[in-house]
Amino acid sequence: MKYIDEFNDPELARRLLDEIRATATRPWALMEVCGGQTHSIIRHGIDQLLPEQVELIHGPGCPVCVTPLEVIDKALEIAGRPGVIFCSFGDMLRVPGTDRDLFRVKGEGGDVRVVYSPLDALELARRNPDREVVFFAIGFETTAPANAMAVHQARREGLANFSLLVSHVRVPPAVEAIMTAPSCRVQGFLAAGHVCSVMGTAEYPELAERFGVPMVVTGFEPLDILEGIRLAVRQLERGEHRVENAYPRAVREEGNPAAVRMIEEVFEVTDRNWRGIGPIPRSGWRLTDAFRAYDAEHRFDVSGIRTEEPAECRSGEVLQGLIKPTECAAFGTTCTPRTPLGATMVSSEGACAAYYLYRRMSAPTPQAGRAAREEMNPVG
C-alpha cells in the first residue's frame, strides 16, 4: 500500500472489523495514547463501528492539553513584555491561562507570532538582533529533535537573543502513571506511531511485561487504527502482552538514532507536571546545563508563578481516560471552542475538540453504536 486512499478503503475496513468481531469474546478496554489517533477515531466513527466488547479509552496524548497552567501563564507573562517576539504553533494561542490567552496578549499589543517550525523562530532572531525571540517548545518526543536542533544552531551561530520556553513531555512515564492509578481500566495500548518513529520501541517491552498489557504501535489512518485494534485484541484473547509494530512503514525498533542523539545532547530528563493530571516523575525534558543560557524561564525569571485550575473543568479526567468529553456538564455549554475552560477544547489533538468538531454532542448509546455498525460505512 503506497497511497493514502488505500488506508481509507471501506472494503478493507469491513474485513478488519469482521476479524475484530470474530476475535473478541469478552470485554476489552484499549487506550489510544495519541490525540491525533483520537481525532481519527471520532472523525471516522471507528469507536461506533467496533463490537460492543471493545471499548476505546482516550488517553493523555495531546501535548498542548497537558502543558500545565503555570507554564501557560509563564508564556503569557513573557509574551507581554516589551522587546519580545513570542513564537508558537497556532493551537497554543487559544489555550486558556488563568485569565487570558496568547490571542488576548496579541490583542493587547504583544508581538505574538504563529510559526510552523522552531527554525522559523530562529530566522526571526537573526533578522531582529535587537529583540528577544522566544519559541514555545512543547510536545512529546516527536517535536523534540527540531526544538533541540534550533537551540543547537542558535549556540553555534552565537545568537544570544534566542531562547526556548520548554514544556516537553515523554510518553513512557505517562503510560506507567496511567497503569499504576487506582482507577485504571486499561488492558492494552495503541502506541503513538510518530513518537516511536523518533524514539523507537525499546522503552515499551518492559512496560508491557510489568503491567501485562499488549502495546501495539499504530498509525493514524482508519486502517492503521483498525489493524492496531485487531492485533491488540488478538493478544488479549491469547493472554499475551508484548510490543507489536503495526506501523512498519514509519517505525523501526531503533527509531531515528540521529534524532535521539540530538535530543540527548540538548535536553536532560526531568520531572514534569501534566495539566489536569499532576506531577509525573521523569516525564519531561529540560535544557542541559550546556544550553541553560537559552532557557526562557530562567532568562525572564518567571519561575515563581503559581496557579489553580477552574473547578468546573474536567479535562483532567478526560486526559486520564476516566470520562468521555460528553460526560462533563460544561461540554458544549459553558465550554466551547470560543469560550474554552481547558486546552482539550481548543487543541487540534484535544478529545473535547474532536467531540465538538465531529458533533458528538451527547453520550453514545448502545442503539447508536449498533446503528453505526449496521451502516458499515467507516470512511464515507
H or E segment and range at residue 229 = helix 222-238
Question: Which pLDDT score is estimated for 55?
Answer: 98
Q: Tens of pLDDT along 135-189?
A: 999 999 999 999 999 999 999 999 999 999 999 999 999 999 999 999 999 999 9
Cα–Cα distance, 282 to 13 (Å, whole number): 39
* 307 confidence band (pLDDT: 50, 70, 90): confident
Regarding beta strands 267-274 and 278-287, do their DSSP bridges make them parallel or antiparallel, or are they unpaired?
A: antiparallel
Average pLDDT estimate for 302-320: 85
* 376 confidence band (pLDDT: 50, 70, 90): very low
* 379 confidence band (pLDDT: 50, 70, 90): very low
Q: Which among 166, 165, 219 is positioned nearest to 190, based on CA atoms?
A: 219
Average pLDDT estimate for 229-237: 98
Cα–Cα distance, 57 to 163 (Å, whole number): 37
Question: Which pLDDT score is estimated for 1?
Answer: 45
* 380 confidence band (pLDDT: 50, 70, 90): very low
Which of 170-179, 301-310, 362-371 is predicted with the least confidence, judged by mean pLDDT?
362-371
Cα–Cα distance, 163 to 122 (Å, whole number): 9
CA 151 → CA 9, 160, 193, 326, distances in Å?
42, 10, 26, 41
Average pLDDT, the chain: 92
Identity of residue 204: Y
Cα–Cα distance, 92 to 15 (Å, whole number): 39
Q: Which residues of 26-45 are buried (b: 16+ CB within 10 A; e: fewer)?
A: eebbbbbbbbbbbbbbbebb
Q: What is the dihedral of CA 154, 155, 158, 160, to 10 degrees?
A: 70
Cite the beta strand spans of 115-246 per DSSP E: 132-139, 162-169, 188-192, 215-218, 243-245
Q: Tens of pLDDT along 194-208?
A: 999 999 999 999 999
Percentage of the residues of the chain whose pLDDT score is greater than 70? 94
Q: Is the pLDDT of residue 97 over 60?
A: yes
Q: Is the pLDDT of residue 369 over 60?
A: no
Question: Which pLDDT score is estimated for 270?
Answer: 97
Q: Is the pLDDT of residue 113 over 50?
A: yes
In contact, 139 and 168? CB cutoff 8 Å = yes
Average pLDDT estimate for 334-359: 94
Q: What is the DSSP string of 149-187?
A: HHHHHHHHHT-TTEEEEEEEE-HHHHHHHHHHSTT----
